[in-house]
A and B are shown apart, each in its own frame.
Chain A
Amino acid sequence: GQQVMQIPQYQHVQEGEDFTTYCNSSTTLSNIQWYKQRPGGHPVFLIQLVKSGEVKKQKRLTFQFGEAKKNSSLHITATQTTDVGTYFCAGGGQAGTALIFGKGTTLSVSS
Protein backbone atom coordinates (compact mmCIF):
# COMPACT_ATOMS: atom_id res chain seq x y z
CA GLY A 1 0.00 0.00 0.00
CA GLN A 2 0.92 3.64 -0.21
CA GLN A 3 3.52 4.77 2.29
CA VAL A 4 4.85 8.15 3.27
CA MET A 5 8.29 8.18 4.88
CA GLN A 6 9.58 11.16 6.79
CA ILE A 7 13.12 11.86 7.98
CA PRO A 8 14.67 12.57 10.34
CA GLN A 9 12.50 11.32 13.18
CA TYR A 10 14.09 13.74 15.64
CA GLN A 11 16.16 16.86 15.22
CA HIS A 12 17.68 19.08 17.85
CA VAL A 13 19.08 22.48 16.90
CA GLN A 14 20.41 25.58 18.57
CA GLU A 15 18.21 28.61 18.24
CA GLY A 16 19.11 30.43 15.05
CA GLU A 17 20.17 27.32 13.15
CA ASP A 18 18.25 26.07 10.14
CA PHE A 19 16.14 22.92 10.05
CA THR A 20 14.87 20.70 7.24
CA THR A 21 12.54 17.71 7.22
CA TYR A 22 12.02 15.47 4.20
CA CYS A 23 9.03 13.50 3.08
CA ASN A 24 9.02 10.70 0.49
CA SER A 25 6.11 8.77 -0.94
CA SER A 26 6.16 5.35 -2.57
CA THR A 27 3.60 6.58 -5.11
CA THR A 28 2.78 9.79 -6.96
CA LEU A 29 0.72 12.15 -4.84
CA SER A 30 -2.15 14.38 -5.87
CA ASN A 31 -1.11 16.88 -3.22
CA ILE A 32 1.00 17.13 -0.10
CA GLN A 33 0.01 18.85 3.11
CA TRP A 34 2.08 19.86 6.10
CA TYR A 35 0.89 20.01 9.70
CA LYS A 36 2.46 21.07 12.99
CA GLN A 37 1.66 19.58 16.36
CA ARG A 38 2.88 21.34 19.47
CA PRO A 39 3.65 19.19 22.52
CA GLY A 40 0.36 18.17 24.10
CA GLY A 41 -1.61 19.70 21.27
CA HIS A 42 -3.30 18.61 18.09
CA PRO A 43 -2.10 18.81 14.48
CA VAL A 44 -2.67 22.15 12.83
CA PHE A 45 -2.63 22.65 9.08
CA LEU A 46 0.27 24.69 7.71
CA ILE A 47 0.12 24.46 3.92
CA GLN A 48 -0.91 22.43 0.89
CA LEU A 49 1.15 21.96 -2.27
CA VAL A 50 -0.50 20.71 -5.44
CA LYS A 51 1.66 21.48 -8.45
CA SER A 52 4.81 19.68 -9.53
CA GLY A 53 7.88 21.65 -8.43
CA GLU A 54 5.80 24.06 -6.38
CA VAL A 55 7.54 26.20 -3.75
CA LYS A 56 5.66 28.16 -1.11
CA LYS A 57 6.94 30.36 1.68
CA GLN A 58 5.44 31.37 5.00
CA LYS A 59 7.78 33.79 6.74
CA ARG A 60 10.75 31.62 7.78
CA LEU A 61 9.19 28.39 6.46
CA THR A 62 9.79 27.18 2.89
CA PHE A 63 7.86 24.24 1.47
CA GLN A 64 8.75 22.37 -1.71
CA PHE A 65 6.97 19.72 -3.76
CA GLY A 66 9.16 17.60 -5.98
CA GLU A 67 8.94 17.51 -9.75
CA ALA A 68 7.74 13.92 -9.70
CA LYS A 69 5.20 14.73 -6.95
CA LYS A 70 6.65 11.97 -4.77
CA ASN A 71 8.67 14.01 -2.32
CA SER A 72 8.50 17.22 -0.36
CA SER A 73 10.51 19.20 2.13
CA LEU A 74 9.97 21.79 4.82
CA HIS A 75 12.83 24.14 5.62
CA ILE A 76 12.85 26.53 8.57
CA THR A 77 15.38 29.34 8.51
CA ALA A 78 16.83 30.64 11.79
CA THR A 79 14.77 28.49 14.13
CA GLN A 80 13.14 29.97 17.20
CA THR A 81 11.92 28.27 20.37
CA THR A 82 8.37 28.74 19.10
CA ASP A 83 9.15 26.33 16.25
CA VAL A 84 9.30 23.42 18.70
CA GLY A 85 6.90 20.61 17.84
CA THR A 86 6.33 17.73 15.49
CA TYR A 87 5.98 18.40 11.78
CA PHE A 88 3.94 15.95 9.75
CA CYS A 89 3.63 15.64 6.02
CA ALA A 90 0.50 14.03 4.60
CA GLY A 91 0.08 12.80 1.07
CA GLY A 92 -3.10 12.72 -0.93
CA GLY A 93 -3.33 9.72 -3.19
CA GLN A 94 -6.09 8.01 -5.06
CA ALA A 95 -9.66 9.23 -5.01
CA GLY A 96 -11.67 7.76 -2.17
CA THR A 97 -8.68 7.34 0.09
CA ALA A 98 -7.72 9.30 3.15
CA LEU A 99 -4.52 11.26 3.52
CA ILE A 100 -1.51 9.19 4.46
CA PHE A 101 0.54 10.82 7.21
CA GLY A 102 4.25 10.43 7.69
CA LYS A 103 5.47 9.60 11.19
CA GLY A 104 6.61 13.16 11.71
CA THR A 105 9.82 14.94 12.60
CA THR A 106 10.05 16.20 16.15
CA LEU A 107 12.02 19.42 16.41
CA SER A 108 13.54 20.64 19.64
CA VAL A 109 15.27 24.00 19.92
CA SER A 110 17.62 25.13 22.66
CA SER A 111 18.31 28.76 23.33
Chain B
Amino acid sequence: NAGVMQNPRHLVRRRGQEARLRCSPVKGHSHVYWYRQLPEEGLKFMVYLQKENIIDESGMPKERFSAEFPKEGPSILRIQQVVRGDSAAYFCASSPGQGQVHYFGSGTRLTVV
Protein backbone atom coordinates (compact mmCIF):
# COMPACT_ATOMS: atom_id res chain seq x y z
CA ASN B 1 0.00 0.00 0.00
CA ALA B 2 1.86 3.03 -1.26
CA GLY B 3 1.07 6.25 0.49
CA VAL B 4 1.10 9.67 -1.09
CA MET B 5 4.22 10.02 -3.20
CA GLN B 6 5.70 13.43 -3.83
CA ASN B 7 8.68 14.23 -5.98
CA PRO B 8 11.15 15.62 -6.02
CA ARG B 9 11.90 15.75 -2.29
CA HIS B 10 14.17 18.74 -2.82
CA LEU B 11 14.11 21.20 -5.68
CA VAL B 12 16.43 24.12 -6.30
CA ARG B 13 15.49 26.73 -8.87
CA ARG B 14 16.97 30.03 -9.89
CA ARG B 15 14.78 33.11 -9.84
CA GLY B 16 12.66 33.24 -12.97
CA GLN B 17 12.67 29.49 -13.63
CA GLU B 18 9.68 27.20 -13.41
CA ALA B 19 9.07 24.67 -10.64
CA ARG B 20 6.95 21.56 -11.16
CA LEU B 21 5.94 19.57 -8.11
CA ARG B 22 4.33 16.18 -8.54
CA CYS B 23 2.00 14.26 -6.29
CA SER B 24 0.63 10.76 -6.70
CA PRO B 25 -2.23 10.19 -4.26
CA VAL B 26 -3.02 7.03 -2.36
CA LYS B 27 -4.43 4.48 -4.80
CA GLY B 28 -8.16 4.97 -5.05
CA HIS B 29 -8.16 8.51 -3.66
CA SER B 30 -9.68 11.06 -5.99
CA HIS B 31 -9.29 14.14 -3.75
CA VAL B 32 -5.98 15.98 -3.67
CA TYR B 33 -4.94 19.02 -1.67
CA TRP B 34 -1.85 21.18 -1.81
CA TYR B 35 -0.48 23.03 1.21
CA ARG B 36 2.45 25.35 1.67
CA GLN B 37 4.50 25.56 4.85
CA LEU B 38 7.12 28.12 5.75
CA PRO B 39 9.68 27.31 8.50
CA GLU B 40 8.02 27.19 11.92
CA GLU B 41 4.66 28.11 10.44
CA GLY B 42 1.44 26.26 9.92
CA LEU B 43 -0.03 24.65 6.84
CA LYS B 44 -1.47 27.16 4.44
CA PHE B 45 -4.13 25.73 2.16
CA MET B 46 -3.54 26.40 -1.52
CA VAL B 47 -5.82 24.30 -3.71
CA TYR B 48 -8.22 21.36 -3.61
CA LEU B 49 -8.71 19.21 -6.68
CA GLN B 50 -10.88 16.28 -7.52
CA LYS B 51 -9.99 14.36 -10.66
CA GLU B 52 -9.76 16.83 -13.53
CA ASN B 53 -11.59 19.52 -11.56
CA ILE B 54 -10.45 22.35 -9.33
CA ILE B 55 -12.86 22.45 -6.40
CA ASP B 56 -11.32 25.27 -4.37
CA GLU B 57 -8.32 27.38 -5.30
CA SER B 58 -8.97 30.19 -2.86
CA GLY B 59 -5.56 29.79 -1.22
CA MET B 60 -3.51 29.90 -4.36
CA PRO B 61 -1.96 33.13 -5.69
CA LYS B 62 -3.72 34.24 -8.86
CA GLU B 63 -0.51 34.73 -10.76
CA ARG B 64 2.31 32.29 -11.50
CA PHE B 65 0.69 29.37 -9.66
CA SER B 66 -1.44 26.67 -11.23
CA ALA B 67 -2.49 23.14 -10.35
CA GLU B 68 -3.97 20.22 -12.17
CA PHE B 69 -5.05 16.67 -11.44
CA PRO B 70 -5.49 14.91 -14.77
CA LYS B 71 -7.52 11.80 -15.37
CA GLU B 72 -4.32 9.83 -15.66
CA GLY B 73 -1.12 10.60 -13.84
CA PRO B 74 -0.11 12.63 -10.82
CA SER B 75 -1.33 15.99 -9.66
CA ILE B 76 1.02 18.81 -10.62
CA LEU B 77 1.60 22.10 -8.82
CA ARG B 78 3.31 24.49 -11.19
CA ILE B 79 5.03 27.70 -10.18
CA GLN B 80 6.18 29.91 -13.02
CA GLN B 81 8.90 32.55 -12.76
CA VAL B 82 9.78 31.60 -9.21
CA VAL B 83 10.90 34.25 -6.73
CA ARG B 84 12.77 33.88 -3.45
CA GLY B 85 9.52 34.20 -1.52
CA ASP B 86 8.31 30.93 -3.08
CA SER B 87 10.91 29.01 -1.07
CA ALA B 88 8.94 26.73 1.24
CA ALA B 89 7.88 23.16 1.82
CA TYR B 90 4.94 22.13 -0.34
CA PHE B 91 2.87 19.25 0.94
CA CYS B 92 0.32 17.27 -0.97
CA ALA B 93 -2.41 15.27 0.72
CA SER B 94 -5.09 12.95 -0.57
CA SER B 95 -8.34 11.66 0.85
CA PRO B 96 -10.94 9.15 -0.26
CA GLY B 97 -13.69 11.73 0.02
CA GLN B 98 -14.21 15.42 0.63
CA GLY B 99 -13.23 16.50 4.13
CA GLN B 100 -12.10 13.05 5.13
CA VAL B 101 -8.79 12.05 6.67
CA HIS B 102 -5.82 13.52 4.85
CA TYR B 103 -2.85 11.35 4.01
CA PHE B 104 0.18 13.56 3.49
CA GLY B 105 3.20 13.05 1.30
CA SER B 106 6.71 13.76 2.51
CA GLY B 107 6.68 17.14 0.81
CA THR B 108 8.85 18.96 -1.69
CA ARG B 109 11.29 21.47 -0.27
CA LEU B 110 11.65 24.23 -2.83
CA THR B 111 14.60 26.56 -2.60
CA VAL B 112 14.84 29.53 -4.93
CA VAL B 113 18.32 30.96 -5.31
Interface residues in chain A, defined as those with a beta carbon under 8 Å from any beta carbon in chain B: 1, 6, 30-31, 33, 35, 41-45, 48, 88, 90, 92-93, 95-104, 106
Decide if A106 touches B104 in the complex (CB within 8 Å): no
Residues of A within 8 A of B99 (CB): 30-31, 92-93, 95, 97-99
| Chain B nearest CB, measured from A36 CB (Å) | 11
Nearest residue in B to A98 (C-beta to C-beta)?
Answer: B48
Residues of A within 8 A of B69 (CB): none
Q: A33-B102, A42-B107 are in contact. Are A106 and B55 (CB under 8 A)?
A: no
Cα A101 to Cα B35 with chains together (Å): 10
Residues of B within 8 A of A90 (CB): 102
Binds A, one of B12-20, B38-46, B71-79: B38-46
Cα A41 to Cα B37 with chains together (Å): 12
Decide if A104 touches B102 in the complex (CB within 8 Å): no
Decide if A96 touches B104 in the complex (CB within 8 Å): no
Residues of B within 8 A of A48 (CB): 101
| Chain A nearest CB, measured from B9 CB (Å) | 11
Which of B33, B91, B101, B107 sits near A45, CB closer than 8 Å? B101
Cα A102 to Cα B98 with chains together (Å): 18
Decide if B35 touches A96 in the complex (CB within 8 Å): no
Nearest residue in A to B35 (C-beta to C-beta)?
Answer: A101
Cα A6 to Cα B102 with chains together (Å): 19
The residues in B between 16 and 56 inclusive whose CB is less than 8 angstroms from any CB of A are 33, 35, 40-43, 45, 48, 55-56
Q: A43-B102, A98-B56 are in contact. Are A103 and B41 (CB under 8 A)?
A: yes
